Structures are given as structure tokens and as C-alpha cells.
Structure 1
Amino acid sequence: MKYKLGDFVRFVDERMEGYVTRIIDENMIGVTGEDDFEIPVLASKVTSVYGHQSGGNAAGINPAATIIPTAEFKAKGVYLGVVGDTKAASVVHFNLVNDTSYQLLATFKTEKQQYKGEYIGIVAPNSAVVIYSAQLADIQLWPKFNLQILYYTQQDMKPETPLLFNDKFKAKDFSGAKKTVPVINQPGWLIRLDEPEMMLDAEKLKESFFKPAAEKQQVDKPKGEVDLHIEKLRDDYQFINSQEILHIQLDYFKKSLDAAIVHQLPDITFIHGAGNGILRHELHKQLGKHPKVQTFMDARKEKFGYGATKVLLK
């Protein structure tokens, strides 16, 4: 397969173009155009459009040594940075980020019934290279990653222990907030590869068990308008199925309603959107039997349309 995710291509027989957003098999690819509709097409029926680059940042390899004063030599800072493609939003790129003063000699294979070599090369100091690309929504289908890294420098430095990352990603691995990925300076999920395992602080752990009840039960005062759209609640919403999304939204709704009651708010508005109406229906069902709810109604239509519910509390 000569194409990879994020490549910009043009159809041979039609006046259409777009980005490769899926590798179906050795002969078929999925191409997404400006209308965000993915079209399956034979790879032989498209051609590359040169001058376009995908959102990944591939660093040039420069194995030449640069002498760095020992005091300024940076020994730590190896990451996997997962960032979205700037053109094909459904695609993410795995960047091997070298924020150290070493050259990294890296090999990367994927494992899914069989092993497949994906990348081999040298990552220069303070640079990054894309080693893998994948469909964001297909995380459950992603293969297991096997990444091996050796450190190299001509300088008089004690050799670092080689790194081995051998794991399969799950949706929960991307549940945290996005951060700025070093070197490439793009927002994304950051996995530190050269950080030792966290050691539990026994005293802090003990303190967490013996906090006063009042401190444990402190409830923050909610805002008057609570947005339940999943993209407002979780950064990893692209990886979550519809059933889990509804569970997360209802859980946040319950906590916000309880907090409004604790703080004796006269009313609170939940923004649920119009959509297919499932979330609105579930909210209304629970509000209808809540002992602390006086009544509820559609919020101001000129502001929210039919996408919000105002709740009057007793």
C-alpha cells in the first residue's frame, strides 16, 4: 500500500479530492472530502497530490553529533505524542518525541495476529517523527505497540537503559486533558516513556483515608446553566460509545442537580441539545419523580431552541 493515513489524493476518473482516512486492505482505501463523507475507493483510482502534507510532523534524521556542555545535557524527555491531523480530523498521528540531547535509535512494530514493522530510524535531539497513524474512532481495533529505543551520544555520558514500550492502548488511556506536546507544540495526548513508575507516598495515602467528613463532602456550587454536551465533559469523547456517553451525561446531570439542591439554588438550566431526544427524555423522566423538583420546562427558546430544560427547585 503506497498511501498512508492523512495523504492528500485526487480521484483519477472524477473531479474529487480528499484525505486518506482509512486503509481498508491492500487494494482499498477510504477518502474523506470537504463534505466529511468517507468514500471507499480502489487505491489504483486515486493519485497523490504533491505539495500537501498531513498533520503529522516528521523530523529529518541527522546522525551528526553536536557537542553540548555537560551541565546543559538533557537526559530525560522521551514521549509518545498523539495529535490530530490538521486536515483529516478523524485521523491521529503517533509522534515519537525526543526532547533530550541524545540521538534515539528506534524500532517500532505493531502486533495484531502477526507482527508488522512500522518504523526504524534515528530521531535527532529536540525533534519528533511520526511512527504510526490510525483512525481515532477505531481505538478498540488498534494493534498492540512494540517500541524499542536505544540512546546514543559521542559525549562522555553514562549510557541510559534502553526503553521498551510493549502495550495496547485503551480508551481510558486518553481520558485525561490534552497537553501541549513538546517539540511539535501541538495539543494532544502525551505518554511519557522514560518516567519511572510513581511511588505511593504512604503518609499522603493515609491522610486521604482520615480526612474529616465535612472536608470529604464539600460540594462546589454549580453554575446556573450546565452544559451536558459530551465534548464539554470529556476530552476523550471520540473514543466513547453512545451508551457510555449517555451514562456520563446523566451522572453529571445528577451531581449538578444535587449540588444545586445543597446550595439552595432557586433554579438550574440543563443544556442537553436537541439531537435524537434520548438525553432530554431521560432528564425529564428523572426530574418528574424527584422530590426536590417543583417543576421543569423548556428553557428560553430564543436562546436555546428546544435544546435546554429549566428546573425550578423547591
Structure 2
Amino acid sequence: MNIGDKVRLLHGNEEGVITKMSAGGRIEIEIEDGFRIPAMKNEVVIISASERQYFGDGVKVEKPTAFTPGTLNTDQKEGVFLAYLPINDKDHSIYIVNSSERSYLMMVSEVFGDNSQTLVAGELPSKGSKKIGEKSISDFEDWPTLLCQFFPIHKKIEKTQISFERRIKFKATSFFKSKSKVPLLDKNGYLFKLSENTKDINVKLLNEELKKATSSPSTTNFPRPEKSIDLHIEKLTKDYPFMSNSEMLKLQMETFEKNLNYAIAHGMDEITFIHGIGNGVLKKEIHKYLSQLENIKYFQDTDKSRFGYGATLVRIS
């Protein structure tokens, strides 16, 4: 039994990935919604082959849903990728792989709160790769956030391509599902495409939007929200596999507050927020926030037939 193994509790329905192992047979499991629960080794059973089996002796394993190990779909062959290649059953080499036709200036840093350390900076050539470091799976919980920034190189006069960045903090349940053959390097590893669903770095456009907003403060440009807002993280961003629990909660609360403010600004009588049941953290944060507002008549669990107990109706005064 190793970190990265998929297991099921013998006395429960929970399934997840082992993220931590301690003395005395204690382990920590990350379940599908990203939350971690403690257990003992004798309380779980492995339900998928270990990392060593996949990379080593060739035992057939569960295939990831995104793409089949050893192949890439047509739309996934070209782009910029982050890849973790096994050195042994614990240690992995980290590569940035560029299988596209364009070269980039690249900077990759590890982020520690307000501090950071640059791992590599320089040109990432077309059809090329660069090793940026090594990591051990046994330290998975302590891996810092990776900030990857890419600036396209234009070697001729052509339409300007926008720079992009990706901030990555892995969850075990998504990381260990990402096995595939790495483009160019032609080896099996954990593979993540960085050049899709990216955050553009466009300072000029951002400044123009801020200038426009401040030049007409009296104009109401707020969109009118829907009567019900789904706060499930997969509805808000495609990047959720790379986000920590705190980052997901922050995005969900920002979406909740923004749409509540829009509803108040448009004079809506009520609005419903679908937060799901889960472990109740998001619901508690929403109710705590609402309890501090004076212009809310009341809020309550709503419409069991549609949402179960996973939604809150907010009546606006």
C-alpha cells in the first residue's frame, strides 16, 4: 500500500486516494470532493493497481477518463504540457513539454504564500522540453503551488499571441488519474495540459477596463443574475482539479457574493444558491455571511423536490 493508491473504506462507502502515511498504520485519504479523512491501513482495501504496477510490471489498471494511457486524442497532441515522469516508484522528474509550432519565453516558479522561487527561466523551443526539477510522491502533501508563465515568441510579423499563465496546486484525486504517454518524450507519466483554459496575461486590456469602469461610476453595468446560481465548483471553472480546498471555497464565495450584490442592485425579491450538501462548509460560510446583512429578510433551505437540502433561498428586503 503506497501513496497514490486508490482505496475504499471497508466500513463505509467512501473511496479516495492515499495522500499520507504515518507510523502505526495510520493513513490519510483524499475523497472525490477534495476533502481528506483519516483511517487505519486495516480499515481500507485497494481498488486499483498501484503506481508501481502501472509503470513497472505492466499489470492492467483502470484507465483515466480524459484519455487512454499511451495515446493522446487529436486535440491533445499539440500544446504546452506539465509532465511528471517516474524515476523509480517514488521519485519523479518534472518537465515542461512544448509540442506546438510556437516557441515561448517561459518562467516557472514555486510559490510560498507571498514568496516565490524561480525554478527555470528562458526559451522553451517549439517541439522541445525542459526539465524543471524533481519531486517525491512521498512529499506530495508538501508540494508548493507552481506558477507557470508563457510569453509567445514572434519570429516574424504576425498577429500577436497573448501570453498566458497557469497556477497549479494539485489534488490527489485528480493527479493520480492523469496517467498518459507524454508527447515528444514518449514515456508514461502524469500529464497536464497547460495551454488550454488558461488565464491570459493582458495588462493593457485590464487597465483599459479599469479606466472605463472608473470613468462612469454612476452607470449601472451589473448583469441581472439568474434566479438560481449553481455554486458547484465544476460549474465555475475547468481548473478545479488544480485547486486546493481553500482556493475552491474562495471562488465559490466570491461567486456567491457577486451574484447576491447583483440581485440586490437589480431589486430582485429573491435568489437561490445551490451549494450542495458535501461536508457543509460552503453552506455554513454562506449562512454566516447572510446573517450579517441588514437588507436580507430571511434565508432558508429550499425546495427539497428540486435541490434537496443543498440549496439556500435568500429573500431580499
User: What range describes the TM-score normalised by the shorter chain of this pair?
Assistant: 0.3 to 0.5
Q: Which has the higher contact order (CA 8 A, sep 6+)?
A: 2
TM norm structure 2:
0.46
TM norm structure 1:
0.47
